A and B are shown apart, each in its own frame.
Chain A
């Protein structure tokens, strides 16, 4: 499956270097670094030192639970502590990690996974098939109540076969096939030992937990028997929680942290003149949208939906809401998926046609409330101004994360939305597939459902692509997601850290095993 993906190369991924370091007006230490060729991007990894990553986790402190990470900070800490059967490569496709070989049968009704030889957990215990079975069962255990279990809704947890000490075979409910098993199992499928205790978490990730102070920081030490030879490089890793982005950026500039993942696009300009910091730009397929609730007026009417798509000036949204750090989207997700239909024409920006459609639908002088969740305000405000040009009054209502995801989360008439890069089927499972738990748009189409059922059991990419193409045409014409842009992942990195390279993912600063400290301070 992975081999069929064309590598698009890192066309958009450029490192914005702090200008001063290059022209030589930086302090001596930095000038030396800039002088030795390639140190800013590559260099030879060196061992030792402490990596310090600052994360902004909103109001949450989060946990270390392997299978129930509920905040971005928790997920990032999981990247340090845990390893999985698969991992995401730079193109955001899965490739084997703890697994040596993984294989689906002809109709994807079983997946067989064989572990590498000689794998170890942090506590020295060998990783066996039993641990894999335990981990899969724990993630999907109703008693754990992990929201991520829903993605594996079809896994038959009573029927996970131990073929031998290193081999496990997974089956799915009702003997149905499940193509996106690696996609849905990788994100939250940390492999943990059978005696796993979330209070004293043991995994097989590059770093072992030393201390965890929720809401403040966590400290990790290098796992010497990590499965990737020679890695990780740093002696220690510290992940520090910030409540405020400005404070995190100041700490980075003051040298108190060396990495800041996923910074806001508006921070980039501030950092561009700073010789101590470079911004690594990863072009992703992480997308942002306005979600129209198809079960409510005025969006029951297809013409109104179409009008909203046409009056959305995507270029302006990318320029203003993302400060230019992104690309225009065409109301479809997962362009990185090999089954993506590239022949669907980009929807134009056409206010006149939007007005005509609204008029035909009897919706002139339409008033709509747009509920904006965390991080959606800028786009919502830009959109409100755009809608005005088509005679639509959009009132932006900003709510906190808890309210946004609260009891009314499926009731908003129109709301901001988005998702990180996932495969087509996996994204659909989150959003608009018949089994989705969070179908904010209430999209439901009999033909789409039928095609989804077929696609999810079709491991052959070419055949699945035919099905997906038809599904995407339905989404493009009738769906409720106005996907206006893909945003770049922006990571700010101190010049003292090596190994952060642009990818097509948001993981550039989370691949802790690959990062190193250039000078020990």
Chain B
């Protein structure tokens, strides 16, 4: 993280945005190159094993696969810059339409899961930090460690059996979201996937919060504050917590980045129509325009999230906020 120079916060931000854009562009090049390295070609992946050389040749022509690689990349880039993401090779649908709904679904799930996970992590992390070394701390910490060791799909299957099919069937087993309707209007489909993510992500965040708050509480400035007679409550809320939050913000950003493209396990387990599943399927089908667009979106999302996290960190850290060493 670069430090904003005095009076140059605008320039700092601008530079960060430029770095981010460069990273996204570099991702697009790498992803495009990677799609070319995948075994099989889109025409064969689309037409399957029965295709004749003639129909394959025809499709390659239609898809423009006969043109040189750099030209295809430039065409694609030009399209993106003018807002045209192309058409899916598999279904022929407009990529923007195809991914639009899925992005909304992914973001809804992310928002729901993260807000619960972050709130839980803050509450439990702080709770454990204040009772560090005690029984409550040990229970919280060891539960977090054990939960972190459980793979996501196991959690998903357990929740399905518990709450959807067998033990107490109150929630849908598959998140068959009504297309065209806001995911928040069909919250019952979001509960189980969000719960799975909460179980999967809270332990990591919780441990980050706990360790950074502990560190802050035991720091020199906290001790100094106490010696000055500042009440413990004020030490915790005014000194320890804001500093303890910085690593938590960074951890949340990291988690968000992972979840943006990586809630695949949850999407598959619950048939949740999100971005990760779409990207995974597109790779299997060699649907290059969809792979490109999804990868670009995820990369862009990660950049934006990290930028936001850095901004929040700057605002939380007086030293960085004022630009003085």
The residues of A with any CB-CB pair to B shorter than 8 Å are 58-63, 70, 142-143, 145-150, 211, 213-217, 240, 242-244, 246-248, 250-251, 253-254, 256-257, 399-409, 430, 437-438, 440
Of the A-B pairs whose beta carbons lie under 8 Å apart in the complex, a sample of 15, sorted by A's number, is A59-B280, A70-B46, A145-B47, A145-B54, A214-B88, A247-B270, A253-B173, A254-B165, A254-B169, A254-B174, A402-B284, A406-B39, A406-B44, A409-B49, A440-B49
- Do the beta carbons of B271 and A142 come within 8 Å of each other? no
Contact A63/B92 with A215-B281, A248-B174, A402-B284 known, Cβ cut-off 8 Å? yes
- Do the beta carbons of A437 and B281 come within 8 Å of each other? no
Q: Among residues 231 to 278 in chain B, which have CB atoms less than 8 Å away from a CB atom of chain A?
A: 267-271, 273, 277-278
Question: Complex Cα distance A412/B38, Å?
Answer: 18
Residues of B within 8 A of A240 (CB): 176
Question: Complex Cα distance A211/B25, Å?
Answer: 36
- Do the beta carbons of A63 and B91 come within 8 Å of each other? yes
Q: Among residues 22 to 67 in chain B, which have CB atoms less than 8 Å away from a CB atom of chain A?
A: 38-41, 44-56, 58-59, 62
Report if B7 contacts A (CB, 8 A): no
Report if B140 contacts A (CB, 8 A): no
- Do the beta carbons of B157 and A405 come within 8 Å of each other? no
Report if B179 contacts A (CB, 8 A): yes
Q: Of A150, A211, A256, A407, which one neighbours B176 at CB under 8 angstroms?
A: A256
Question: Complex Cα distance A61/B277, Å?
Answer: 12
- Do the beta carbons of B271 and A247 come within 8 Å of each other? yes
Report if B172 contacts A (CB, 8 A): yes
Contact A214/B268 with A59-B285, A256-B174, A405-B45 known, Cβ cut-off 8 Å? no
Report if B210 contacts A (CB, 8 A): no
- Do the beta carbons of A213 and B179 come within 8 Å of each other? yes
Residues of B within 8 A of A256 (CB): 172-174, 176
- Do the beta carbons of A247 and B174 come within 8 Å of each other? yes
Report if B316 contacts A (CB, 8 A): no
- Do the beta carbons of A430 and B50 come within 8 Å of each other? yes
Question: Complex Cα distance A430/B74, Å?
Answer: 39
Chain B residue nearest to A409 (CB atoms) is: B49
Contact A247/B269 with A62-B90, A148-B50, A402-B285 known, Cβ cut-off 8 Å? yes
From residue A504, how far is it (CB to closest CB) to chain B in Å?
Answer: 23
Question: Complex Cα distance A248/B271, Å?
Answer: 8
- Do the beta carbons of A244 and B39 come within 8 Å of each other? no
Question: Complex Cα distance A253/B48, Å?
Answer: 32
Question: Complex Cα distance A211/B281, Å?
Answer: 21
Chain A residue nearest to B269 (CB atoms) is: A247
Question: Complex Cα distance A444/B313, Å?
Answer: 71
Residues of A within 8 A of B169 (CB): 254
- Do the beta carbons of A244 and B52 come within 8 Å of each other? no
From residue B46, how far is it (CB to closest CB) to chain A in Å?
Answer: 6
Count of A-B residue pairs with CB < 8 Å: 161
Residues of A within 8 A of B53 (CB): 437
- Do the beta carbons of A59 and B283 come within 8 Å of each other? yes
**Extra pairs beyond A59-B280, A215-B273, A247-B271 (6, CB < 8 Å):** A60-B281, A147-B47, A244-B268, A247-B270, A401-B45, A407-B44
From residue B55, how far is it (CB to closest CB) to chain A in Å?
Answer: 4
Residues of B within 8 A of A244 (CB): 268-269, 271
Report if B93 contacts A (CB, 8 A): yes
Q: Among residues 168 to 185 in chain B, which have CB atoms less than 8 Å away from a CB atom of chain A?
A: 169, 172-174, 176-177, 179-180
- Do the beta carbons of A145 and B59 come within 8 Å of each other? yes
- Do the beta carbons of B52 and A251 come within 8 Å of each other? no
Residues of A within 8 A of B293 (CB): none
- Do the beta carbons of A147 and B268 come within 8 Å of each other? no
Contact A243/B281 with A213-B179, A405-B49 known, Cβ cut-off 8 Å? yes
Question: Complex Cα distance A70/B173, Å?
Answer: 29
Q: Of A150, A251, A401, A406, which one neighbours B271 at CB under 8 angstroms?
A: A251
- Do the beta carbons of B176 and A145 come within 8 Å of each other? no
Report if B164 contacts A (CB, 8 A): yes
Chain B residue nearest to A406 (CB atoms) is: B40
Report if B124 contacts A (CB, 8 A): no
Residues of A within 8 A of B284 (CB): 58-60, 400-402
- Do the beta carbons of A243 and B40 come within 8 Å of each other? no
Q: Of B41, B268, B286, which one neighbours A247 at CB under 8 angstroms?
A: B268
Question: Complex Cα distance A211/B101, Å?
Answer: 15
Question: Complex Cα distance A217/B280, Å?
Answer: 18
Question: Complex Cα distance A70/B47, Å?
Answer: 6
Chain B residue nearest to A57 (CB atoms) is: B281
Chain B residue nearest to A253 (CB atoms) is: B165
Contact A61/B88 with A214-B93, A217-B176, A256-B176 known, Cβ cut-off 8 Å? yes
Chain A residue nearest to B169 (CB atoms) is: A254
- Do the beta carbons of B50 and A215 come within 8 Å of each other? no
Most interface-central of B44, B53, B91, B101 (chain A CB within 10 A): B91
